[in-house]
Amino acid sequence: MTFQELQPKISAIIADSNTLRDEKLLAICQLLNENIEYYNWVGFYFANHEAKTLHLGPYVGAETDHTVIPFGKGICGQVAESNANFVVPDVAAQDNYIACSFTVKSEIVVPLFVNGQNIGQIDIDSHVIDPFTEADERFLEFVNEEVAKLF
């Protein structure tokens, strides 16, 4: 399924008034994981600005030990500080990478803004080297714009 075909499905999940927020986030993770071949782990992290930590929210994929990530640590922690998308074509080439699994070859993290504040991020791991393009970034920005409506 193309990003364009997935957009209305994302919007429909967000608009469903009979579903709780975490259920909607999990449904989005499942939709992306099932329909984009190289999205092998899809999850959300949410910021605790007082503690300067990210906390794992709904996700789909292999279990992870990284349920709390300090700001600045790893790709997700860097995005919490930079407020910018981070695309890692090859995780083996990254100094500040927190290894999740030997199967992860690349990662993309896009911050989630609500009223101008970075409240979290969507994190995608892939088992393929360098699959992410600008189209992935734009699509994930759209996903996060929709998700922001839940806060």
The average pLDDT across 20-42 equals 98
Q: Determine the pLDDT at residue 32.
A: 98
Assess whether pLDDT exceeds 70 at residue 129. yes
Q: In what order do the strands lie in the sheet with 68-70?
A: 68-70, 53-60, 41-48, 117-126, 106-114, 86-88
Alpha-carbon span 75 to 110, nearest angstrom = 10
What is the per-residue pLDDT across 76-126, written as a single tens digit (0 to 9) for each?
999 999 999 999 998 888 766 666 667 889 999 999 999 999 999 999 999
What phi, psi does 7 have (nearest 5°)?
Answer: -55, -50
- Cβ-based neighbour number of residue 101 at 10 Å: 14
Q: Determine the pLDDT at residue 62.
A: 92
